Amino acid sequence: MADPADFPFEFACRRSGNCCAIPGGVVRVDDADVRAIAAYLGMSAEAVRSRFVHRDGDRLLDGLGSRCVFLGEGERAGEAHCTVYPVRPQKCRDWPFWPEALERPELLAAMQRRCPGITERA
């Protein structure tokens, strides 16, 4: 993960789930991610791959409406949560401190529009 101090914003998750529902978004996974998710869910790695991983084997499947397959609804309306949060893939752990956001101003602007937890640094 990049150093959060290098970014022109602060972040406090508001549990909107918007970061997990970006159309065309891809969550890459490797064998270690699949094994961790499998252990967390009490499933075999093969079952996780069959149910949640794209047939190419390198990314999670999309859930309903381009949402991450592991994005769940919270107890209160409008409060989303990751159903595999303790073992979520590294890209998810790093959100929104992605190095490519510093390199691509259009990506940074899109992230800031989409995520209510990203606010300008004071």
Name the band, by pLDDT with cuts 50, 70 and 90, for residue 115. very high
End-to-end Cα, the chain, rounded Å? 22
Instruction: With CA atoms as reference, report the closest residue to 23 among 56, 59, 68, 53.
Output: 68
The answer to whether residue 92 scores a pLDDT higher than 90 is yes
The two tokens of residue 6 are 């290098």
d(CA 23, CA 67): 8
pLDDT confidence of residue 77: 62
pLDDT confidence of residue 75: 66
Residue 57, Cβ density class (10 Å: 0-12 exposed, 13-18 middle, ≥19 buried):
exposed
Give residue-wise pLDDT tens across range 5-34: 999 999 999 988 899 988 778 899 999 999
pLDDT confidence of residue 93: 93
Q: What is the 3-state secondary structure (H, E, C) of 52-111?
A: HECCCCCEECECHHHCECCEEECCCCCCEEECCHHHCCHHHHHCCCCHHHHHCHHHHHHH
Helix, strand, coil percent values for the chain (each to nearest 5): 40, 15, 45
The two tokens of residue 41 are 């869910």
Instruction: Evaluate the omega torsion of the peptide bond into residue 96 and state whether it is cis, within 30 degrees of 0.
Output: yes
Mean local confidence (pLDDT), 30-43: 97
Calculate the CA 84 to chain-centre distance: 10
Give residue-wise pLDDT tens across range 50-84: 999 999 989 999 888 888 999 988 666 667 889 99
pLDDT confidence of residue 78: 64
